[in-house]
């Protein structure tokens, strides 16, 4: 009897984590980070609340209260990152239309609460160069506009190359490219205290270096936005 009463609020809380939404940009169904954070927070809160109290009725009531409190806390960070992601998508889409660009210049991927911006080097830099193209500078200006409004995120910038050529040279090139992106964000108002730049050379490929298509995917800069936990 005690177990069944405890499971009722827990089951309701966990169901929240299964909520899904449709991505209006990719047309794919994806789990909302807010919904997942709400469900996880509610489940933890329900369990914590149920462990306190003396009688079975008290345990059930405390579990429900704990679920509500946990849901609110878990939803906060997820909702904050959801809003930031949406604004990034909107700003970059407007920039693409305004500059009459064909195809996406920055790809946006959501990994849990993190937002990852992938900048292919083919449209971000010239050949064998760490100097940003005009299109890249325009896109980074839009990114900076959003980041200055959402200050409760850390900004990790990672440069990557393919495996062609000398490894030490590729390492330095990846570092210079990451630094160029960081400098652009800083010049557009993002605090340098939030920025962390690093280069990985060819050490973290996302595709095979045996084909030109794969090498093109590996030549990139990734900007990862990670919540600090203070966003609301």
Encode pLDDT of 33-62 as tens digits.
Answer: 555 555 555 555 555 555 555 555 565 655
Cβ neighbours, 10 Å, residue 126: 11
Largest CA-CA distance found in the chain, in angstroms, rounded: 71
pLDDT score for 159: 98
Alpha helices in the chain (DSSP H): 2-16, 33-50, 56-98, 121-124, 134-147, 167-187, 212-218
Out of 19-23, 48-52, 109-113, 220-224, which region has the weakest mean confidence (pLDDT)? Answer: 19-23
Q: By the 8 A CB rule, do 75 and 21 touch?
A: no
- How far is residue 57's CA from residue 26's CA, in Å, rounded to a whole number? 47
**Total length of the chain:** 232
Cβ neighbours, 10 Å, residue 130: 20
pLDDT score for 97: 82
| Higher-scoring residue by pLDDT: 54, 139 | 139
Phi, psi values for residue 200, rounded to 5°:
-120, 5
pLDDT band (50, 70, 90) for residue 29: very low
Q: Identify which of 22-26, 55-59, 91-95 has the greatest average pLDDT.
A: 91-95
Of 120, 100, 93, 97, the C-alpha closest to 26 is: 93
Average pLDDT of the chain? 79
Q: Can you name the CATH fold of 99-227?
A: 60s Ribosomal Protein L30; Chain: A; (3.30.1330)
Return all residues near 120 (Cβ < 8 A) that are at least 6 apart: 105, 107, 216, 217, 219, 220
Positions of CATH 3.30.1330.60 in the chain? 99-227
């Amino acid at each position: 009897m005690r177990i069944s009463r405890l499971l009722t609020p827990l089951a309701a809380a966990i169901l929240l984590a299964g909520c899904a939404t449709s991505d209006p940009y990719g047309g794919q169904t994806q789990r909302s980070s807010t919904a997942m954070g709400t469900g996880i927070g509610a489940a933890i809160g329900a369990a914590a609340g149920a462990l306190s109290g003396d009688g079975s009725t008290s345990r059930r009531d405390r579990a429900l209260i704990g679920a509500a409190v946990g849901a609110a806390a878990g939803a906060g960070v997820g909702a904050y990152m959801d809003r930031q992601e949406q604004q990034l998508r909107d700003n970059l889409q407007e920039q693409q239309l305004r500059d009459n660009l064909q195809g996406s210049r920055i790809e946006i991927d959501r990994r849990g609460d993190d937002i990852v911006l992938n900048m292919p080097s083919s449209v971000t830099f010239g050949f064998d160069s760490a100097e940003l193209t005009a299109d890249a500078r325009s896109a980074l200006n839009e990114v900076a506009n959003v980041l200055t409004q959402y200050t409760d995120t850390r900004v990790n910038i990672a440069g990557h190359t393919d495996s062609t050529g000398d490894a030490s040279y590729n390492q330095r090139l990846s570092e210079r490219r990451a630094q160029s992106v960081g400098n652009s964000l800083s010049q557009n108002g993002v605090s340098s205290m939030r920025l962390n730049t690093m280069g990985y050379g060819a050490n973290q490929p996302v595709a095979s270096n045996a084909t030109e298509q794969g090498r093109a995917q590996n030549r990139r800069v990734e900007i990862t936005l990670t919540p600090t936990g203070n966003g609301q």
